[in-house]
Structure formats: C-alpha cells, structure tokens
Amino acid sequence: MPNEIYHSFSDRKRAGKKSFAVLIDPDKVNDQTVAELIELSVSSKVDYFFVGGSLVVSNYLDQCLQLIKKSCSIPTVLFPGSPSQVSKYADALLYLSLISGRNAELLIGQHVVSAPMVKKSGLEVMSTGYMVVDGGAQTTVSYISNSSPLPSDKSEIAVCTALAGEMLGMKLIYMDAGSGAKNPISETMITKVAQSISVPLIVGGGIVDPEKAYLNCKAGADVIVVGNAIEKDSSLIREMAAAVHSVPALV
C-alpha cells in the first residue's frame, strides 16, 4: 500500500492510540545488541524502530536495518542526522526540515542536494517539521546547524512554528529536546502544540522514565521516541511501551 507507514501514524492518531518508537543509533549497536533490542521490542509490542544518529560514522546502518527486517515486522523509519543516512533497507524516511532553526541548509539546502538519491531509494518519504526545543544542554543538531533551539518556556513560538510547518504541508511534526536532554519537553508545550495541529505529533529527547512517556502522551504526543535511556537499560522498553499503550483514547 502506498504511504503505508504514514497511514499507520495517522490511523493510530485518529483512533487515539499512542505509539512507542525505539530509537537505534547504528553507531552504538552491533548484531548482538540489535538482536536483543528486537526480541524485547517484539514482546513489548513496540510500534516503530527509528534508526539514525547525529553523525553515524560506523557503516552499520544497512546491516542493522536488514537484521531488523529479517527478524520482525516492526516498521523501520529512518531518522537521519545527515543525507548520507539514507538506506533502501528501511520502510520509510523522516524527511526532516529543521523549522525551529534559521539555517537554510537544514531547511531546504541538503534536501535539494539529496533529492535524486532519496527518490531513487524508493523509500516512503514523510515530510517532517523538525523542531528542536531547548533541553538544557546543547544538541548536536543545534551545534552543527549553528542555530538556536526553541526556548523551552515559549510555547507560543512552538505553536506558531508547528502551525507554519503544517500549513507548509508537512505531514508530521517532531518536537525534540535532543538526545540525552537534561529537561524533556514540558507537557504545557506539548498540549498547546497538539491542540493547534492535526497531523501526528512525535515527541522525544530526554525521556528516561515511563511516567514521563505517559504524561507526554496524555498531554497530546502521538508518538514517543526513546533512545538514550534504552541504550543504558534495555529492559525499559517493556515499561515504556506499556506506559504509552496504557494511555486511554480520548473519544
């Protein structure tokens, strides 16, 4: 089915079902750790694997995706830190435009350069308004893009940015406090943004306990992404997935 992964995001949102995505950084795993993550994720009913990292220097991306694909049916979504992180072995690609920044390269420049390669990959492309929110520590993306994150206490700027992204045609909004953020995004900001847009809202960065994942979903996040905390303790997958899936659907 065309746009299968995007439909799964929007269908789940429409049904009020919250989703949990495990973020795998190919630089930080090997066959053995990926196999463990797959096993835990399947038994915990994880909804998506997001795969990507800020830099990705290892060469393990294709192999990692192939291993996931042959082991389970959890969809794989590329969350690329750069255009070099495109792999035909994934199911879909978050086609990120850094709408919280003012660096033309990450808004459109790199997209122009990589467009033919992305098209040729045959991947399902999901345009995503990527908003980096201040999480109390400088993120790699802010450093590399030389652009400031959104202030964490300025929900109105976040709302206007997400709205602009949606009206520009972006199919997803991703609010990220950055990997390993000291302060995850506040429920106040999540609620205000979620109430202003109708496309699925992805939230990640610094979520280290299931309670936070639950509260973020209750506030309006549709998809919760966790990377760092799971790298430290993979058994968190089970609790995080259970917390996200326990959020009651609002009818």
Rounded to whole angstroms, the Cα distance separating 106 from 228 reads 24
Residues 177-196, interacting with ligand 1GP (CB under 6 A): 179-181
| Least gap, CB of 3 to ligand 1GP (angstroms) | 23
* Listed ranges 27-35, 59-67, 220-228, 237-245: which one lies at the site for ligand 1GP (CB under 6 A): 220-228
Rounded to whole angstroms, the Cα distance separating 8 from 6 reads 5
Q: Does 228 bind ligand 1GP (CB under 6 A)?
A: yes
| Least gap, CB of 235 to ligand 1GP (angstroms) | 15
Q: Does 221 bind ligand 1GP (CB under 6 A)?
A: no
Rounded to whole angstroms, the Cα distance separating 220 from 230 reads 23
Cβ closest to ligand 1GP, residue 15 vs residue 210 = 210
Cβ closest to ligand 1GP, residue 3 vs residue 58 = 58
What would the x/- binding string for ligand 1GP be over residues 193 to 212, using CB under 6 A?
A: -----------xxxx-----
Rounded to whole angstroms, the Cα distance separating 128 from 94 reads 6
Q: Does 244 bind ligand 1GP (CB under 6 A)?
A: no
Q: Which residue is nearest to ligand 1GP (CB)?
A: 204
Sign of CA dihedral 245, 35, 22, 208: positive
Interacting residue with ligand 1GP among 90, 189, 226, 236 (CB under 6 A): 226
Rounded to whole angstroms, the Cα distance separating 64 from 232 reads 19
What is the residue type of 105? E
Instruction: Give the distance from CA 161 to its chain's centroid.
Output: 17
Q: Does 176 bind ligand 1GP (CB under 6 A)?
A: yes
Backbone angles phi, psi at 116, to 5 degrees: -60, -40
Q: Are 69 and 42 in contact (CB under 8 A)?
A: no
* Listed ranges 3-11, 37-45, 164-172, 226-234: which one lies at the site for ligand 1GP (CB under 6 A): 226-234
- Number of Cβ within a 10 Å radius of residue 39: 14
| Least gap, CB of 23 to ligand 1GP (angstroms) | 5
- In sequence order, the 6+-apart residues with CB closer than 8 A to the CB of 140 are 54, 55, 81, 178, 179
Residues of this chain that bind ligand 1GP (CB under 6 A): 23, 176, 179-181, 204-207, 225-229
